[in-house]
Amino acid sequence: MRNVSTTYAVRSVLRNARRTALSVVGIGIGCALALYVDSLIRGTAQLYVAMAAESGSGHLRVVPAEWPVNRDVDLRLADWRADLAAARALPGVRAAAPRARAQVLVAMGSHVLSVEMVGVDPAVEPSADRLVRRLAQGAYLSPGGTGEVVVGRAIADRLDAEVGDEILASVVGATGDIESAMFRITGLAATGSEDVDAGICHVTLEDLARLTGREGAGEVTLILDDWQAAETARAALAARVAGGDRVLTWPELSPEFEGHLRQDRATTRLVTAVIIVIVLLGVTSAQLAAVLERRKEFAVLAALGMKPPRMVRLVLQEALLLGLAGAAAGLAIALPFIAWAATAGLDFRQWMGSNYAFEGVILEPIVYADMGWWIVIEALVIALGATTVASLYPAWFATRTDPAAALRSAQ
């Protein structure tokens, strides 16, 4: 019986080729629009998270247990070497960088500036922080070097300093006394944003420890291969870090970015919903028109004993066939555009310039679409879901057909 119903549904769909083609094209265009918009939003989300993570925030960060409450830069990890080893042993970790921070005054001549100085491991920091991966002038800190500092262009300009100049750094040490040290500028970072440049001041972990009197690292920042695996990685790492330390994910570290992504996802859902509603209206109209044209046919089927549930199943089978064809059409339309956007990207430099700073993070002006197997799944969900829902009313209408009245009006 099911094969007979399916064969009948296929013949019904193919009987009016023009109407079927228009329905499939309408479903395909709506599906393609939804897929393209979603691929761009997914690509934008990946860009935002990657840029924030690789601008110092990280996908995960091991911090002292008290740090989330007051974010005190003077706090240090209970056992930073054990935390670092656990982080580097975790699968899917691209980079794990230890850092320590201190609020210091830097001075050159009569110029004085308050900055956050960051102690780093020069061997791994460039792999975790893209802001110092390429310097405008000079070179990055040398492993094992002492008395070296890399600063942002904004700091150098305010101090009227250049590469090779020495600056004085002063800080309230662990004992409460004022401690000072001289640092030679080895490199200048220039991101294009004055606010971001003003936050770049790197020395080695050992130099910062000597200056502040506080040994060790205050955090271990992790860059993951897959940012969406942050929660899974956090759970695995939390069981391995030293007691008294905890692991935070990127939404906890950058709540403003997480909120921005939520807004983007809400926008995507709204746009997709509008597109689906348009598809629903088009398919409902086409299906209802088909049912009205086939009133005599449904009347004959009812007179021959076809029960309403089976009649509904017949109309829904026709809708599913349209949905499958519409999903295929949507993929055929969308995939070339998504593939182009995933490889060439959409260039927004005309509106953003060479880069754009958001909440202290430099964002790249070229957005790449996300492309994966999710496209096929989403196309099927949208097309089949839309056609099924759109066919419910026409199916119900078909079951309400009075055979006697339909046959009389057809004579």
- pLDDT at res. 51: 79
The residue ranking higher by pLDDT, 329 or 47, is: 329
Q: How many CA atoms lie within 13 A of 220 on its CB side?
A: 27
Q: Are 152 and 199 in contact (CB under 8 A)?
A: yes
Whether the pLDDT of residue 259 is over 80: the answer is no
Burial of 107 (C-beta count, 10 Å sphere; 0-12/13-18/19+): middle
Rounded Cα gap, residues 189 and 152, in angstroms: 5
> Which residues lie below 8 Å from residue 325, measured CB to CB, with a gap of 6+?
20, 24, 27
pLDDT average, residue stretch 171-184: 92
Model confidence pLDDT, tens digit, residues 368-379 = 888 888 999 989
CA dihedral over 12, 17, 18, 20, signed as positive or negative: positive
In the predicted model, what is the mean pLDDT of the chain?
84
Q: Which of 68-72, 234-238, 259-263 has the lowest mean pLDDT?
A: 259-263
Between strands 201-204 and 60-64, the pairing is unpaired
Q: Which CA distances in Å does 212 have to 81, 122, 159?
A: 19, 19, 22
Whether the pLDDT of residue 323 is over 70: the answer is yes
Rounded Cα gap, residues 177 and 322, in angstroms: 78
Q: Are 245 and 234 in contact (CB under 8 A)?
A: no
Q: Are 68 and 252 in contact (CB under 8 A)?
A: yes
Rounded Cα gap, residues 32 and 331, in angstroms: 6
Rounded Cα gap, residues 395 and 388, in angstroms: 10
Most confident of 9-18, 127-136, 217-226, 362-371: 217-226
pLDDT average, residue stretch 241-269: 82
The residue ranking higher by pLDDT, 371 or 19, is: 371
Whether the pLDDT of residue 216 is over 80: the answer is yes
Rounded Cα gap, residues 127 and 133, in angstroms: 7
Whether the pLDDT of residue 97 is over 50: the answer is yes
Rounded Cα gap, residues 367 and 41, in angstroms: 9
> Which residues lie below 8 Å from residue 198, measured CB to CB, with a gap of 6+?
115, 152, 154, 155, 158
Whether the pLDDT of residue 339 is over 70: the answer is yes
**With bands split at pLDDT 50, 70 and 90, how would you rate the model's confidence at 410?**
very low
The candidate with the shortest Cα–Cα distance to 199, out of 139, 118, 128, 257, is: 118
Rounded Cα gap, residues 338 and 331, in angstroms: 10
- pLDDT at res. 356: 58
- pLDDT at res. 203: 96
Per DSSP, 176 falls in state S
Q: Which of 152-166, 322-336, 391-405 has the lowest mean pLDDT?
A: 391-405
